[in-house]
Amino acid sequence: MDDTMSADRALRLIRQGRALHWAGDFQNARQLLAALGRRTRRVEQLNSLLIATKDYEIRLRRAPDVYQACLQAYGPPAGERLIPLRELLGVIGAHQLRERGIYLPALKGRIHPHYGVFAPTRSEYVDLVAATPLPPAEVAFDIGTGTGVLATVLLRRGIPKVVATDNNPRAVACARENLAAHDGGAEVVEADLFPPGRADLIVCNPPWIPGRPMTLLDTAVYDEDSRMLRGFLHGVHEHLTPRGEAWLVMGIRSQDEMLAEFRAARLTVVGRSSAVPTHRRARADETTSLWRLRPSAADSFVEEA
């Protein structure tokens, strides 16, 4: 397929089950993808526009140098490869974001996300963790750390030791890189939810939407069957010290839904802080909340913070 291809014809071919191997101008391919995006939102259709690479070199007019971006995303090159243009643009964008980092006022510094790791472009949840009064804490756990941003906040707030966990090897590598400046204060381990031992504070910002992830990045947004949310809530009993607190950062879901989850996990709400997100993709009525939780003394439950 080349520069003579119209978006309408391309979409007809895609709907017939054909993949489109692009041989024209690279920038024209981007324009075609944008036009397809105005006609369909189905990811599998948008991913049917393919770009050929050889050892991460694109031999098309006006093609960018994508070697370093692909190297970070996919590892060492292995000859010829067809990559969906939509995915390739994401790889390029992730490389640029990693290079420049994301400035966060709560840190007075930058976090550098890796490809395939959720980037803290929505900073209100970081601000909530930075502003909520800390319980007395010598050790904190950051569950599902991602870039390590919340672990960094906790260290900068003076907690002597923070153990950050993630089950995504990319996230583990990313968090270690971001936390490297904190000598001795941070430990990053690959784990599904909790590390061994107990902590005075356990923080978690799980995926907010109880849906099925379809891509690598979806795993930071969709929590199928609320597996991570419920695993965290039901697991804090075994990992909190007697006077410890669990902090859950959550948006999208209703208060009634969250209270029902806390009740099922035998947790009491001891405080709640909220912020209205300013990110351009935030929903009009969206609120981000930090719930402070403790194990219930018995079966009683505090309905309101």
Cα dihedral value 184, 190, 191, 192, nearest 10: 130
Backbone angles phi, psi at 35, to 5 degrees: -65, -40
Which pLDDT tens digit goes with each residue over 128-164? 999 999 999 999 999 999 999 999 999 999 999 999 9
pLDDT at 303: 42
pLDDT: is 292 or 251 the higher one? 292
Cβ proximity of 221 and 207 under 8 Å: yes
Look at 30-34, 208-212, 218-222, 285-289 and tell me which has the smallest mean pLDDT.
218-222
Q: 222 falls in which pLDDT band (50, 70, 90)?
A: confident
pLDDT: is 277 or 33 the higher one? 33
Residue closest to 9 by CA, chosen among 49, 42, 47, 59: 49
Res 218 pLDDT > 70 = no
Residue-by-residue DSSP string for 14-60: HHTT--EE--S-HHHHHHHHHHHHTT---HHHHTTEEEEEETTB--S
Which pLDDT tens digit goes with each residue over 40-87? 999 899 999 999 999 999 999 999 999 999 999 999 999 999 999 999
pLDDT at 224: 75
pLDDT at 299: 39
Q: 300 falls in which pLDDT band (50, 70, 90)?
A: very low
The alpha-helical segments, DSSP class H, found in 187-287 are 227-239, 255-264
Average pLDDT over residues 108-119: 92
pLDDT at 87: 93
Average pLDDT over residues 247-266: 93
Q: 304 falls in which pLDDT band (50, 70, 90)?
A: very low
Average pLDDT over residues 260-283: 86
pLDDT at 298: 45
pLDDT at 58: 97
pTM: 0.84
